[in-house]
Chains A and B, each alone.
Chain A
Amino acid sequence: MMFKTSLRHLREGFKGTLRNGWMSFAAISAVTITLLLVGVFALVMFNINEISDNVENDVEIQVFITRTADESSVEKLGQNIEQVPGVSTVTFSSKEDELAKFQDQLGDDAAAYGTVEKDNPLHARYIVKAQDPLELEEVAQSVSSLENVDDVKYGKDYIDKMFAFFNGIRIGGLALIVGLTLMAMFLISNTIKMTIFSRRREIEIMRLVGAKNSFIRWPFFIEGLVLGMLGALVPILVIYFGYDVAYSALQPSLDQLNSDIFKLIDPSTLTVQVSLVLLALGAFIGIWGSTTSLGRFLKI
């Protein structure tokens, strides 16, 4: 008996979706567009987070050593840096190493700088990594006060700008998504209102013969759910297959950068997670849209 009643609710819910074809189409489209943007944005966000994590973990402090320092004081400086709280690793790079790197970057043009080998103008340096990237500034300050340190650099401006940019994307995207979600909910609630209107006679009779409110409500609840989940269908397909395509297209060229920073997240687990979130969000939008319109219309 319960099963039969549930079947009836399901049937009526689907019928309602078909009955207001165009309104349903509009509501589904709104959910589709919303979720498509949410999905794409989520993927972008996850990757940005991944990259900024990589960046944070990759940030180093360059400690330039005074050129006049002799070998033993350079060694002593290295030991002192290791003593600074928050330092995780210290690597030494001599003047010659620096020059080699420099020439390597120049390639064939290196010949033009032939004289530098005799009179190397570069600094030897320590490359310091912090245990917590957020403590970078403190570590850098402590290190700069040590003896025989000529200068300390850690690309603060560059990092701050990048984080500000990422934050901008996050906030703008969230605002867009909230707005679109509200619009989708509004359209769904309007569609349900149309269904209720077209079935008001049936509802009136149901009440007269003693139908419980829940019995009257279920079909509309299901209609909202169906609209929301149908709206999630296209975005899920796009995310699921689209990210795979984008990943295979982009990652090879990123690999050529030979950097640990610019790595995209592997599609396998990410797309499944994002798809589930989209489905849940679609269902939520649908249910919310339908229940808000029910309250006022179905009073005894």
Chain B
Amino acid sequence: MISMQKVSKVYPNGVVAMDDLDLEIRDGEFLYVVGPSGAGKSTFMKMIYREEKPTGGQLLIDGLDVGKIKDRHVPKLRRQLGVIFQDFKLLPSLTVYENVAFALEVVGADTSSIRKQVMDVLNLVGLKNKARNYPDELSGGEQQRVSIARAIVNKPKLIIADEPTGNLDPETAWGIMEVFEEIHRRGATIVMATHNRDIVDKIRHRVIAIENGKVVRDEEKGAYGYDV
């Protein structure tokens, strides 16, 4: 699914965020990305959805050289993956339904198929009866479910989640992880940056630790490994 060969990223101000990083992520894998703040986790995630371009090496997603695609082809790449953030990034003026439908309208889908897909995905995240509510009427966990629904409504094969439980209390975080597990069971590849030790230790998946722009640890069914 994702193949990185000697990928590096040096920002214009000279900061080295990624240093000849090699990594293979297989189809259908669930990958935790851990590491201290400022170690390059964010850059790692951003390069996958082409918010940042690598300055060296090769980053392939499904055989597509992400670093080389033109700006105008970026939308096509983004339609094939779903991105989820710590701060949900919902539009407050739109209802739950509209927030999710937004991702399909942008692509130009027709109304009837939008309706069906949005209701299906709201059902999956357990928010079917909140479709008409506005984001500020929902709890943090529910808002994150909306943002997950928006990310998966296009049925992407790859989900990028940057600290999806970072703003949630532990109990709510578990609920969110169940949703991710369900998406994973349905065959999606998931790359999740996280600081949540409990989750990484209990729901075991492959773990990579990034420090100073390099992968310093890569374990199947690994543990969080940092003392907080």
- Show the binding face of A for B, using Cβ within 8 Å: 1-2, 4-5, 8, 201-202, 204-213, 215, 299-300
Assess the B110–A209 pair: CB atoms within 8 A.
Answer: no
8 pairs, A vs B, C-beta closer than 8 Å: A201-B89, A207-B75, A209-B78, A209-B106, A209-B154, A210-B106, A212-B75, A213-B75
Known: A209-B106, A209-B150. A4 touches B75 (CB 8 A): no
B100 CB to nearest A CB, Å = 10
Closest 6 CB pairs of A and B: A210-B79, A210-B78, A209-B103, A211-B106, A210-B75, A212-B75
Q: How far is the CA of A253 from the CA of B4 in the complex (A)?
A: 87
Q: Count A-B contacts at CB 8 Å.
A: 53
Q: How far is the CA of A122 from the CA of B154 in the complex (A)?
A: 100
- Show the binding face of B for A, using Cβ within 8 Å: 49, 71-72, 74-79, 83, 89, 91, 102-103, 105-111, 150, 154
User: Mostly helix, strand, loop or mixed at chain A's interface?
Assistant: helix
Q: Which one of A4, A215, A300 contacts B74 once the chains associate, using CB atoms below 8 Å?
A: A300
B85 CB to nearest A CB, Å = 9
Assess the B76–A210 pair: CB atoms within 8 A.
Answer: yes
A299 CB to nearest B CB, Å = 8
Known: A202-B91, A300-B71. A207 touches B78 (CB 8 A): yes
Assess the B83–A208 pair: CB atoms within 8 A.
Answer: yes
Q: Cβ of B106: which chain A residues have Cβ within 8 Å of it?
A: 206, 209-211, 215
Q: Cβ of A1: which chain B residues have Cβ within 8 Å of it?
A: 108-110
Q: Cβ of B105: which chain A residues have Cβ within 8 Å of it?
A: 5, 8
Assess the B75–A204 pair: CB atoms within 8 A.
Answer: no
Q: Cβ of B77: which chain A residues have Cβ within 8 Å of it?
A: 210
Assess the A5–B89 pair: CB atoms within 8 A.
Answer: no
